[in-house]
A = this chain, B = another copy of it.
C-alpha cells in the first residue's frame, strides 16, 4: 500500500496542481503561527514550509494516538509549502564569509491592504523578481518514526511595464489580496508577464515537477 498523502495547505492553487498530476491526497491545513528567524528568501521559505508540515505531522500523530480505533496504521507523507516573492536589491551584493557573493532581497508576502498591494505591484512593474517556494516532506512511518526532507525552487519572473490604471483595475478585481507579491500568474495579470526563467508552477505555488522528481529519487511510491 502506498503513502497516505496530506497537503498541509488550504491554497486552492496547490490543491489543483496536485490533482493535475493525478495524486490522491487529503487537505489538513496547518494552524501554526509562522516564526521567521532567517532573512534570506532561500532560508525563509524552507523554514516556514517546515513549520507547517511538522505542525500537521504532529497533529496527525496526536490524533492517531488519541483515536487508535479510528486510524489504520499506514505510512504518511505530509507536504508543506511556502511561497515568497523577492526583489533583488540593486548594488547590495554582499561578500559573505565563504567568499561567495550573495544577492540581497526585499521580501514580499501577501499584501496587508490595497495600498500595500499597489506598492508591491509598482515594485514589480518593468522589473525582475524571484519567486521562492519551499517544500517540506515529513514522513511518518506506520510505526510512528518521523523523517523529513526539504528543498526550495527559485524562478525568475520578468514583468512588462504596468501603468497605474492597470494596477488599480487589477486591485479592484480583488485577486491580489491572498497572493504573495500581490499577483497571480494564472489570472488576468498574465498579460504583463514578459518571461520567466525556471519552473512556472513554482510561481503558482508548488514546484510539482521537482516534487515528483525528488519523491522518485527518494524511492517513495505514491
Residues of A within 8 A of B (CB): 20-22, 155, 160, 185-188, 190-201, 208-210, 212-213
Contacts and interface: CB of A to CB of B under 8 A. Distances in A.
7 contacts: A21-B190, A155-B195, A190-B201, A190-B209, A193-B200, A195-B197, A196-B198
Q: How many copies does the complex hold?
A: 2
A198 B200 CA distance: 10
A218 to B, nearest CB: 15
Contacts of A190: 20-21, 201, 208-209
A73 B114 CA distance: 42
A210 B199 CA distance: 19
A192 B207 CA distance: 11
A79 to B, nearest CB: 14
